[in-house]
Structure 1
Amino acid sequence: MAIDKAKYVVTTPGATGPAAVARAFENQVAYCRDNRAGVTALVCQAVGDLLDTDRGGAFMRRVRRWAGPPLADALPLRVAGGLHALHQSGEEPGLSPIYEGLGPNNAAELVAAAIERHEAFLMPWLDGPPQTNEAGRSASFAAAFLWLVEQGLPGHFDLLEIGSSAGVNLMMRRYRYDLGGVCVGPKNARMRIAPEWRGASPPDQGFDIVGAQGCDVSPIDLTDEGQVARLKAYIWPEFTDRFARLETAIAAAHTFPPEIERRRAVDFLRDRLERPQERGTTRVLMHSVVWQYIPRDERDQIVELMEAAGQRADSETPLAWVSLEANRDTHRHELTASYWPAGDLRRNLATAHPHGAWIEWKG
């Protein structure tokens, strides 16, 4: 499978078996290539090339015989995260030509040898889904908040984030944004986020964040070096600005850590929606690149909770739902928003780069 020949094919997320495994890797190669992540595309291509061989020991046998749905389980990214962590550890110099962007022709051989030498290190990376947390995604949230204010909702937002990971986006009150020339956030902020803006500028409004709480089934502590190392392994190595943003977020967390509970999304949301809401505030459920990892029955319960809470909302205590998630049909990430009491009218506000490099505004 050549990187330039890889095709992204829409398939059933719950599909299992060898063909589904191969499709998951080819889709990931195409996705990484199209998002200018050539190194990660090469890593996934190399592993995909090993599927029809006997290389890679027990690690690759587990990959080939993956029991669950490889697409829904983000199997290629579990493997890529483990290999990136191995490279970052300095214990496998054989991977350096790949991660230095040299594009070696024998990438599959280099990856196979690394896997066989470090099977014990890599095997645990298959046990759970990737943990990604990217401050750049919060620019999409900020743009959506501007739009909500223009719709007449109070500009004092009380945030509830599910799948918070390390809580990087829960700290967005401390970030400064330049959104197509519309600037919001503290002028002296250390974190400054200015995605490439496409289309008309968002509404030139202001907003404030009066509360921010989140949950994750396996939250990451930004003050713990070991946990931070794991988070860094899931950052695609091509995007050096992401590492810089993470370091700034780590510094912010040491000063005042985000509020995150170790809890299922539906349980966290049910609890928070039952709590009194201060009048003159907008309560917001927000999430990014997490919906696909939440079990279907739990997603259905979240929808029911939001619809029920929306029926209780009024102009002084409105409810909004903002998300940045992948559209599996279009192969793009979409920023969507809905709010109550106007009714459950979901609006597609923008498409955006999955790591915040650009936003194409529709409004």
Structure 2
Amino acid sequence: MDVTERWYRAFAEHTAPTSPLYEALSLLVAGDAELIARLSVLPEPKRQPNLLFGATRYLDGPVESTSDWREWVLSRWDEVVAVILAHRTQTNETNRCAALLPVLSQVDGPIALLEVGASAGLNLYPDRYRYRYGTHELGDGPVLLECEPRGDVPLPKRLPEIVWRAGLDLNPLDIRDEEVLRWLTALVWPEHHERRTRLHAAADIVRADPPRLVQGDMLTDLRALAAQAPAGATLVVQHSAALAYVVDAEARKGFAATVTSLPGHWIALESPGVVPGTEVEADVNTEVVSMDGRIMGFSDSHGRWIGWP
């Protein structure tokens, strides 16, 4: 089986069940020799389903019908490829803050928060959002993040005191740019209306007080940015669905060695095994919440629920 075909079949089976439209499109692509052939000439990172489908939505293409989508994407292939080559899948899913907060709230402040793979920096503002875990609520921000607690989750009693925030990304995005917001909106799956609403509300918060975003590689530039955190604040390096894009396992180990050598803490939400030391059997679409390389809990990839071992 072609590697691109396998990628789309895996996406349909493991990632897209919460989006029946994308599940159907993924299976269509996997079984379509012409589409696979066209995708296969692109650089491998540019073949991924989220990028192809995001480009479709960015160009206002149809996703409700597989036959209409196929006809449209083939007729507009050059435009679709131009969008794919010019963009990355930099989804800023703010609800992931709700999955990270039970760990982050255990860190004594003040906190210097540094996010790698920050995209537009929306997840650098966990102190500005409002949270609901079942019947437990905290915060009074204008954006509500809801997360279902499963099991004996240590529900946060306070929001973090963040006095410095910075992001590191290969391609940092300025959310004040309407085209940036348009692209991030296109990356939200079509049935996920609440995620689109939340994205735009969070963008308003960040636009009013933009974070410092630095262009750089998490593998080589983290230490220099971390050194700029203010004295007297506890450094927290966080990331969610970012380290997974470093496909080389040795490179991930190198990142882990760097981040654990820094003062402070390291908090992550990644697929099992992406953070070295978090290899564990888990259900499909279940991510590991870890702190300093130690498994703390589990969540889905969009922070809809959180469970504790």
TM-score (norm 1): 0.75
For 1:204-232, what per-residue CA distance to the aligned partner results, in whole angstroms no more than 9, with x for missing partners? 54232222111111122111111111111
Deviation at 1:199, TM superposition (A): 1.4
2:53 maps to a residue whose letter is: A
Q: Percent identity?
A: 24
Alignment of 1:289-328 (within 5 A): 289-294=241-246, 296=248, 298-309=251-262, 313=263, 319-327=264-272
Does 2:74 align with 1:116? Answer: yes
Match of 2:300 in 1: 353
- Which letter does structure 1 place at the counterpart of 2:171? S
Choose which of 79, 95, 105 in structure 1 pairs with 2:52: 79
Give the C-alpha shift of residue 180 in structure 1. 4.4
Q: Which residue of 2 aligns with 1:233?
A: 186
Aligned length: 297
Q: Which residue of 2 aligns with 1:167?
A: 121
State how far apart, in whole Å, the 2-side matches of 1:145 and 1:173 are. 10
- The verdict on how the C-alpha distance between 1:74 and 1:193 changes in structure 2, with shifts beyond 3 A counting, is farther
| Superposition CA RMSD, Å | 2.3
Between 1:297-306 and 1:347-356, the stretch displaced more is: 297-306
Which residue of the partner structure matches residue 263 of structure 1? 216
Cα pair distance change 1:64/1:225, threshold 3 Å: same
The amino acid across from 2:100 in the alignment is F
Secondary structure of 2:267's aligned partner: strand
Q: Which residue of 2 aligns with 1:11?
A: none
Which structure 1 residue ranges, 5 or more long, are not aligned?
1-17, 314-318, 339-345
Taking the aligned partners of 2:47 and 2:245, their CA distance within structure 1 comes to 9
194, 202, 208: which one aligns with 2:154:
202
Q: Higher Cα Rg: structure 1 or 2?
A: 1
Sort the Cα spacing of 1:42 and 1:263 in 2 relative to 1 into closer, same or farther, 3 A. Answer: same
User: Residue in 2 aligned with 1:25?
Assistant: 8
CA contact (8 A) 1:180 1:201 kept: no
Q: Partners in 2 of 1:289 and 1:352 — Cα distance?
A: 12
Q: What secondary structure is seen at the aligned counterpart in 1 of 2:259?
A: helix
Matches within 5 A, 1:184-195: 184-185=138-139, 187=140, 189-195=141-147
Give the 3-state SS of the residue equivalent to 1:155 in structure 2.
coil
Name the SS of the counterpart of 2:171 in structure 1: coil
Q: CA deviation at 1:132?
A: 0.6
**Distance (whole Å) between structure 1 residues aligned to residue 220 and residue 54 of structure 2:** 29
Partner SS for 1:349: strand
Q: Which runs of 4+ in 1 moved over 6 A?
A: none
Runs of 5+ in structure 2 lacking a partner?
Answer: 274-280
- Tell me if the contact between 1:32 and 1:40 (Cα under 8 Å) persists in the aligned partners: no
